[in-house]
Amino acid sequence: MRLARYRFFLLVGLVAALSLAVLFLPKLIKRPPYEPWPLKRLPLMKETEGLEAAISASLSYLQRLPPGRTFSSPIGPVSREQLLKTLNILAQASGLTPQEREVFLEKNLQAYRLRGDLLVTGYYEPLIKGDRRPSDLFSFPIYRCPDDLITVDLKAFGLKGKIFGRLQGRYLVPYYSREEIDIKGVLSARGLELFWLSDPLEAYFLQVQGSGVIELPGGERVRVHFACSNGRPYVSLAQILPASLNIKSLEEMKRYLRSLSDPLSVLAQNPRYVFFEEVSRGPLGSLGKVLVPERSVALDPRIFPPAAAFFLITRLPIVDEGDQLKGHRAFEFLVFNHDQGAAIKGPTRLDLFLGTGKMAGQIAGRLKAKGELFFLLAKEKVETKEER
């Protein structure tokens, strides 16, 4: 009993020390500068495909939160009620004529243009062949959450954030890295294998995307979704590979990695590792809601409120089945903050969800464009349709 108590207090002390170290690192997150913007200059509802589903997902998430909840936003703290009001205005406007809609939205919504060089990238839900059992064809596993992975919520210590690790004797140490898991096999033979894939590169990119569809040998398709991670920092392949390679698409990236004699050693330079769970619906974002193609985005939750409405202006690549770039198209859509990502940090990063399968992946793999982002918020006095 005395030894167990000693271990407990030692662990608590270690966590507190680590927490203080993290607390005083120079990670101050600044809100982006902004300016009010005339709403009539934004074609909010020129395109309506997927809009109803995206608004519904945001409303469903916020309605489950306690009243009075507040969030960080580009213009300062905003309440759950303000966000709900904004979404309800957009939902009401969808049932009006174009002329009525323009007047209604201008009276009830305010737009704020976020200054800065916004970088827009894309992500998607991969479709991958796999099996529940290993075979000569399917020999590379993806794992479920290990039972020795410890998550410490620092709120219990009056601090912010979380740390992840495992017990090693009397010490909490970082959880196993990608190299230890994929190359040294530290998790093998523990019964943690969720599915088996034929290609370690597809397993890697499944982790980067955070969710996917696995097609089993009989044709059945099942979904997997992010369940937890090892808590290690994310290092992108763009940071790992030489810039002189000038790789411009995901398919080019895969071809290059397959040409290497030992691609796993390259991938291992990204120590972050993602574990999955099987889910019945999806693809799911971090809010637990189904993502809507070209409507759902991932933003930094330290700056942008969840489920909030934005207007995004950028350009998307047009590619053919052979992954050849054919041009670009203008993208001016209402989008909603339904997700987050390890690489999406700061006020000038946005990841746009582009759908499921090969074509969505080809577009996502080529999307790296400048953009403009506008935060939408209800004015204090809102006019209903009946008052018009």
- Terminal C-alpha separation, the chain: 72
Look up residue 224 and give its two tokens.
Answer: 């997997």
Query: Collapsing DSSP states into helix, strand and coil, what is residue 152?
Result: strand
Residues 257, 359, single domain; the answer is yes
Residue 127, exposed/middle/buried by CB under 10 A (0-12, 13-18, 19+)? middle
Taking 3-state DSSP, the helix, strand and coil percentages for the chain, each rounded to the nearest 5, stand at 30, 30, 40
Residues 39, 133, single domain; the answer is yes
Residues 128, 159, single domain; the answer is no
Write down the pLDDT at residue 8.
43
**Number of domains, the chain:** 2
Task: Report the residue count for the chain.
Answer: 388
Residues 138, 136: Cα–Cα separation, whole Å: 6
Residues 67, 182, single domain; the answer is no
Write down the pLDDT at residue 7.
45
Look up residue 353 and give its two tokens.
Answer: 């969800």
Residues 152, 244, single domain; the answer is no
Residues 137, 205, single domain; the answer is yes
Q: Check if the beta carbon of residue 204 is closer than 8 Å to that of residue 267.
A: yes
Angle between helix 98-108 and helix 80-93 axes, rounded to 10 deg? 160
CATH of the domain at 216: 2.40.40.10
Residues 220, 37: Cα–Cα separation, whole Å: 49
Look up residue 160 and give its two tokens.
Answer: 């912010």
Residues 24, 51, single domain; the answer is no
DSSP string computed for 339-381: E--TT--STTEEEEEEEESHHHHHHHHH-EEEEEEEEEEE-SS
Residues 16, 13: Cα–Cα separation, whole Å: 5
pLDDT under 50 in the chain at which residues?
A: 1-26, 386-388
Q: Which of 2, 48, 18, 64 is nearest to 288 (CA)?
A: 64
Residues 182, 200, single domain; the answer is no
Helices (H), 248-369: 250-258, 263-267, 358-366
CA distances from 92 to 167, 198, 246, 381, 382 (A): 53, 48, 47, 15, 12
- Summarised one tens digit per residue, pLDDT across range 221-243 is 999 999 999 999 999 998 999 98
Task: Count CB neighbours of 21 within 10 A.
Answer: 9
Q: Starting at the earlier edge strand, list the strands of the sheet with 150-153.
A: 150-153, 162-168, 171-173
Residues 95, 192, single domain; the answer is yes
Residues 135, 284, single domain; the answer is yes
Write down the pLDDT at residue 324.
85
Q: What residues make up the domain containing 250? A: 34-145+187-388
Look up residue 249 and give its two tokens.
Answer: 């698409």
Residues 39, 86, single domain; the answer is yes
